[in-house]
């Protein structure tokens, strides 16, 4: 019989559980883990308190001097003033604090405008988590992709991880075969098919150390485990279990609301 890696499902109200690939029903147990903490608003005022901004080619920029991320009428508006079609540098709004185990929820909808260099591409954004503040842009991290018709894909940015893949080896399948992917910078795990709504869409990410589940409008669309990174530029991979959270500005007008975090420990 083929042996498979062992995944330990952490704290919960139940006794410790050991899950073996590929039976998995993957991280459905993670979603119930330690849910007693109350949710906190992660972003809720016009000063963007608790967050800072980095911009491609410029590094850190003062929050009060930038117009990529603007809080208005209880919404975070991405690129509200920029002229459609104009060239806008990519940027990230990053939490000052780091987080390890939590459920992050938010709602998003697309605006009308697109900006160079992505005027002819699908509208694109994303949520980075376990982001490391290094000199790279985008920061070394794990990404929940938010993109027209691709929301729920996983991007590994200078990282590596394991996910369950279906018979074709491409899309996520909770009862599929484990696959590890590693790349010099960008590697993708494709979500399983899901429907993005024309208006507001609900994103939920359940993160517990080195593993995460991705939900779109209540449906499990992707999951990863055994996330790793290289803290220095060598061949030694180490567990990636904590980091910053970031929202991307990536050439599209986007609105976010109800950005909340519930700690799992």
pLDDT in tens, 71-97: 998 999 999 999 999 999 999 999 999
DSSP string, 142-204: EEEEEETTTTT-EEEESEEEEEEE-TTSSBB-TTSEEEEEE-SSEEEEBPPP-PPPSS-EEEE
Distance (Å, whole) CA 27 – CA 57: 38
Walk along the chain (265 residues) and give the pLDDT tens digit of each residue.
433 433 333 333 333 333 344 433 445 444 444 455 788 999 988 999 999 999 998 989 999 999 999 999 899 999 999 999 999 999 999 999 999 999 999 999 999 999 999 999 999 999 999 999 877 799 999 999 999 988 999 999 999 999 999 999 999 999 999 999 997 789 999 999 988 999 999 999 999 999 999 999 999 999 999 999 998 777 799 999 999 999 999 999 999 999 999 999 7
Helices and strands (DSSP H and E) totals, the chain: 0, 21
Distance (Å, whole) CA 17 – CA 20: 10
Residue 71: C-alpha distances to residues 13, 33, 90, 96, 165 (Å):
38, 32, 18, 17, 39
Residue 226: C-alpha distances to residues 44, 54, 124, 178, 238 (Å):
32, 28, 27, 11, 10
Q: What is the pTM of this model?
A: 0.86
Do residues 71 and 63 touch, judged by C-beta distance below 8 A?
Answer: no
Instruction: Give 110-136 pLDDT, tens digit per residue.
Output: 999 999 999 999 999 999 999 998 777
Looking up tokens 């970031």 gives: 246
Residue 170: name the closest of 153, 156, 148, 145 by CA.
153
Domain boundaries, the chain: 38-263
Do residues 106 and 260 touch, judged by C-beta distance below 8 A?
Answer: yes
Class in CATH terms, 38-263:
mainly beta
What is the length of the chain?
265
């Amino acid at each position: 019989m083929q042996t498979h890696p062992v995944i330990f499902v952490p704290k919960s109200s139940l006794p410790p559980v050991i899950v073996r690939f590929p039976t998995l029903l993957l991280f459905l147990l993670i979603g119930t883990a330690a849910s007693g903490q109350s949710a906190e608003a992660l972003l809720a005022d016009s000063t963007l308190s608790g967050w800072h901004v980095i911009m491609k080619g410029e590094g850190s920029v003062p929050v009060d001097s930038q117009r990529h991320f603007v809080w208005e009428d209880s919404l975070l508006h991405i690129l509200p003033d920029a002229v459609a079609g104009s060239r806008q540098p990519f940027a990230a709004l990053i939490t000052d604090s780091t987080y390890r185990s939590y459920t992050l929820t938010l709602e998003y909808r697309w605006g009308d405008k697109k900006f160079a260099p992505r005027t002819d591409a699908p509208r694109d954004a994303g949520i980075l988590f376990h982001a490391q503040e290094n000199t790279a842009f985008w920061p070394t991290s794990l990404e929940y992709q938010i993109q027209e018709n691709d929301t729920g894909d996983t991007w590994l940015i200078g990282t590596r991880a394991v996910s369950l893949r279906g018979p074709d080896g491409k899309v996520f399948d909770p009862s599929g075969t484990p696959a590890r992917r590693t790349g010099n910078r960008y590697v993708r795990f494709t979500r399983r098919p899901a429907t993005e709504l024309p208006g507001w869409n609900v994103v939920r990410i359940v993160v517990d150390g080195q593993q995460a589940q991705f939900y779109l409008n209540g449906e499990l669309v992707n999951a990863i485990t055994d996330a790793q990174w290289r803290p220095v530029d060598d061949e030694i991979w180490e567990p990636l279990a904590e980091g910053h959270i970031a929202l991307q500005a990536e050439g599209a007008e986007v609105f976010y609301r109800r950005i909340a975090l519930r700690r799992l420990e």
